[in-house]
């Protein structure tokens, strides 16, 4: 770096770059979605906590997913909402890097959790007699803790590689959050190592897990077709189709965002993908699981019944 270059201390998040009147509309629209995300996932957590019939490994991992979704949205949306109604859209560089770290860590945690949930369904349907032994509470706790630990360590690797770079501008990020690809554009040095590590990590946490999930569901499908009971087959299909919907939404948007060639999508299209990934997905997950799950809906009816009888 030359002597006349200085490290940047804050950056400007350009956001959606629309008319101010439309920004007010987007503020209300995104605030509604964020509120729904917190309420829906909070309701899922509360029902699982209060109803002893939902104290099973499947709902333990579903409650873990609800915590991840609320944390994921909360690491991004409040700052995005503030920027929509404020004249100054700046963020200090340290909080920007913190947002990048949380975004990466929570995204990978969700990815790992979806793999564990697919494994849980595989054991439940393909090895029902050994389910309680294989998926003991000790194993469930270890799997959940491993997901969180691995994800935060991987995010720490990316942040460590970012911190070795000199950042001297430009000072503007053409995004509504400090997404890692946008942050790397601020560096005034070669970022090829960061790009290579990010791509390798994307293959490891997206492509490989997706293949494992699809393989497990092929085994599940064959096992479901062998179920004699129509009711048992319907219940298994309902549970697994919900999980496959969530897997498709999450992995599909993530693979397009991190692994598709840069020329394939404009920056505005990538913003929409990021928005879907960080706001709409966490809001849709509890809807997909609850609306297609008779046990969750039953727990909700029992809870409302107790409230009305008091």
Check pLDDT > 70 for residue 1.
no
As beta bridge partners, residue 13 has 173
Which one is predicted more confidently, 58 or 246? 58
CA-wise closest residue to 14 among 175, 206, 228: 175
Q: Which residues contact 250 (CB under 8 A, 6 or more apart)?
A: 110, 111, 114, 277, 281
pLDDT tens string 55-94? 999 999 999 999 999 999 999 999 999 998 887 888 999 9
Contact assessment for residue 13 and residue 178, using Cβ atoms and an 8 Å cutoff: yes
Overall pTM surpassing 0.75 (yes/no): yes
Average pLDDT over residues 298-306: 77
Write the CATH number of the domain with boundaries 10-305.
Answer: 1.20.1070.10
Check pLDDT > 90 for residue 108.
yes
CA-wise closest residue to 280 among 84, 36, 112: 36
pLDDT tens string 168-201? 877 888 888 998 988 998 998 889 999 999 999 9
Determine which helix (DSSP H) or strand (DSSP E) holds 202, and give its type and residue range.
helix 192-202
């Amino acid at each position: 770096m030359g002597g006349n270059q200085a490290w940047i201390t804050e950056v400007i998040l350009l956001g959606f770059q629309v008319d101010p009147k439309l920004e007010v509309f987007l503020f209300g629209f995104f605030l509604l979605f964020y509120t729904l995300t917190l309420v829906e996932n909070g309701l899922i957590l509360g029902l699982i906590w209060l109803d002893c019939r939902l104290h099973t490994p499947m709902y333990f991992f579903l409650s873990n997913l609800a915590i991840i979704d609320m944390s994921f949205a909360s690491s991004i949306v409040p700052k995005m909402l503030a920027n929509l109604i404020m004249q100054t859209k700046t963020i200090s560089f340290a909080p920007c890097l913190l947002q990048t770290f949380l975004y990466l860590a929570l995204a990978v945690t969700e990815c790992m959790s979806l793999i564990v949930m697919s494994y849980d369904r595989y054991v439940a349907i393909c090895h029902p007699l050994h389910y309680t032994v294989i998926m003991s509470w000790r194993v469930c706790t270890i799997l959940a803790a491993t997901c969180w630990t691995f994800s935060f360590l991987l995010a720490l690797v990316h942040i460590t590689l970012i911190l070795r770079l000199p950042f001297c501008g430009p000072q503007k990020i053409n995004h509504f959050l400090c997404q890692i690809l946008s942050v790397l554009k601020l560096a005034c040095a070669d970022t090829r190592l960061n790009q290579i590590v990010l791509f390798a990590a994307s293959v490891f946490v997206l492509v490989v897990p997706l293949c494992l999930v699809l393989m497990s569901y092929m085994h599940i499908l064959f096992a479901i077709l062998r179920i004699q009971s129509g009711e048992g087959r319907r219940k298994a299909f309902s549970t697994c189709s919900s999980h496959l919907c969530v897997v498709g939404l999450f992995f599909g948007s993530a693979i397009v965002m991190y692994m598709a060639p840069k020329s394939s999508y404009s920056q505005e299209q990538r913003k929409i993908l990021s928005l879907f990934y960080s706001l709409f997905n966490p809001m849709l997950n509890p809807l997909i699981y609850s609306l297609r799950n008779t046990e969750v809906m039953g727990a909700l009816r029992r809870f409302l019944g107790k409230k009305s009888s008091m």
